A and B are shown apart, each in its own frame.
Chain A
Amino acid sequence: MRLNRIFTAIAATSALVLAGCGTADPASTPAPGASGALTPIKLQLQWFFQAQFAGYIAAVDQGFYQEQGLDVQLLEGGVDIVPQTVLAQGRADYAVAWVPKALASREQGAGITDVGQIFGRSGTYQVAWKDSGITKAADLKGKKVGNWGFGNEFELFAGMTKAGIDPGKDVTLVQQQFDMQALLKKEIDAAQAMSYNEYAQLLEAKNPKTGKQYTADDFSIIDWKTEGSSMLQDAVWANTEKLNDPAYQQQTVKFLTATIKGWAFCRDNAEKCRDLVVAKGSKLGKSHQLWQMNEVNKLVWPATGGIGVIDETAWNQTVQLSQTTKNQTGDTVLTKAPEGLAYTNDYIKQAIEQAKTAGVDVNGTGFQPATVTLNEGGS
Chain B
Amino acid sequence: MRRALAILAGIVTLALLWEGYKAVGDPEGTVLFGVRVLPRADDLSMPHLWTVLQRLGRPELAGGDPVWQVVLRACLFTLGITAAGFLAGTLVGLLLAMAMQRFRIVERGLLPYVILSQTVPLVALAPLVAGWGGTLMPAWATVAVIAAYLAFFPVAVGMLRGLQSPSASGAELMRSYAAGWWRTLVKLRFPAALPYLFPALRLAGAAAVVGAVVGEISTGTRGGIGRLIIEYSREATSDPAKVYTAMLGAALLGLVVAGAVSLLEVPLMRHRRHVEVVTL
Contact = CB atoms under 8 A, between A and B. Distances in A.
A26 B227 CA distance: 14
Given A79-B230, A80-B123, A3 B44 contact: no
A285 B62 contact: yes
Interface in A329-379: 376-379
A78 B231 CA distance: 11
Interface string B36-79: 00001011110000000000000011100000000000001101
A283 B231 contact: yes
Interface string A159-187: 00000000000000000011111001100
A179 to B, nearest CB: 4
Contact of B138 (A6, A27, A89, A181): A27
Contacts of A202: 237
Contact of A78 (B44, B76, B81, B221): B221
A367 B256 CA distance: 54
Nearest to B219: A78
A204 interface: yes
B166 interface: no
Contact of B217 (A17, A78, A285): A78
B263 A7 contact: yes
A377 B60 CA distance: 11
B180 interface: no
B218 A80 contact: yes
Given A10-B263, A283-B60, A201 B139 contact: no
Contacts of B126: 78, 80
A18 B230 contact: no
A17 B83 contact: yes
Given A80-B126, A185-B44, A178 B80 contact: no
B80 A17 contact: yes
A374 to B, nearest CB: 9
A28 B134 contact: yes
B178 interface: no
A179 B234 contact: yes
B60 to A, nearest CB: 7
B234 A27 contact: no
Contacts, number: 149
A27 B130 contact: no
Nearest to B224: A26
A91 B266 CA distance: 46
B133 interface: yes
A48 B234 CA distance: 12
A206 B51 CA distance: 15
B222 A26 contact: yes
A206 B238 contact: yes
Given A48-B220, A179-B236, A201-B237, A18 B140 contact: no
Name the residue in A13, A17, A205 with the highest tally of chain B Cβ atoms < 10 Å from its Cβ: A17
Contact of B62 (A79, A85, A206, A379): A379
B167 to A, nearest CB: 33
B127 interface: yes
6 contacts: A25-B138, A47-B220, A79-B218, A89-B131, A181-B44, A286-B62
Given A7-B263, A27-B222, A179-B235, 20 more contacts: A7-B264, A27-B134, A27-B221, A28-B138, A76-B222, A78-B126, A78-B218, A78-B219, A79-B230, A81-B127, A81-B130, A85-B127, A181-B237, A185-B44, A201-B238, A204-B238, A208-B43, A283-B231, A284-B234, A377-B238
